[in-house]
Each structure stands twice: as structure tokens, then as C-alpha cells.
Amino acid sequence: MTHNAKIWAAQTAERNPPSAALDWTESGTLDIEISGEWERILKASGNTTVSEGLLSQAAMLGSHGKRIDARATNFALGFVDAMEPNDAAEALLLTQMAATHQATMMLARRLNHVENIAQQDVAEKALNKLARRWTR
């Protein structure tokens, strides 16, 4: 490991990125319990309304019906935190980038597991459209 890599590893080991534990309540709402250093995102967001909205939207990443995916949520929160946004616009755009990345990877996985030409065409078109959005 190079000297710079050792420095970076030491600096990132000290970080405690924000994360969320997700669970459905009996009333059918999503219960979100946060941990880690959420203050960096809160400060960049400018206020609790924006940061809570960011969190609730990130909590729905990878979720479908009553199935929730805390890993997808924590990936997005970790990405936003790692990029150290300076304001609400950056925090929201970084969240969108994380969501777009996850969708791109999901479509790539679908393309890798097609069973016929029709599925391949649909997956290829969707992946191509989505992947080009952030490269412009």
C-alpha cells in the first residue's frame, strides 16, 4: 500500500457514515432509525426539512411494496456523505446520482440475465437511455 493510500485509509476509517435501519410499522408506514454521523448531510442540506426529505427518498431506493433494501439506502447516504456536499443542491444532486447509479446497475444485471431477444432489446434500450443521462 502506498503512503497516500495509507493516509486515505486512516482518514476514512475515522468516518462514521450515516446509515439507516428500516422497518415497516404496524400502521404501514416506514420507520427510519438513523445512526452514524448524519450532521454532515444535515449541515449541507441547510435545514431538517430538506435532510429528512433526502433521507425518506433514499429509504425508498430498492424498496418494492413491503420489501425494503437498507443496503441501497445506506449506499446512497454513504455516497452523499463521501462526496461532502456544500449545500442542499449538491446533496440532492448527489442523492439523484446514487439513485441513478443503482438503477443503471440493476438494468445492467437484467441485461446480463435475459432469456430472449425481446427481453434483451427492452433491457438494452432502458440501460442505454439511463446511462447516457449523466454523461452529457
pLDDT in tens, 19-43: 888 888 888 888 888 888 888 898 9
pLDDT in tens, 48-60: 899 888 888 888 8
47 contact partners, CB below 8 Å, separation of at least 6: none
User: Rounded to whole angstroms, how far apart are CA atoms 110 and 79?
Assistant: 23
Q: What does pLDDT average to over the chain?
A: 85
pLDDT in tens, 60-93: 887 777 778 888 899 999 999 999 999 999 999 9
Q: How confident is the model at residue 13 (pLDDT cuts 50, 70, 90)?
A: low
Tell me how many domains the chain contains. 1
Smallest CA-to-CA distance from 44 within 15, 9, 77, 86 is with 86
Alpha helices in 2-116 (DSSP H): 3-13, 39-45, 48-59, 70-82, 88-112
Say what the pLDDT of residue 129 is: 87
Residue 3 pLDDT exceeds 80: no
Range of the domain at 8: 3-133
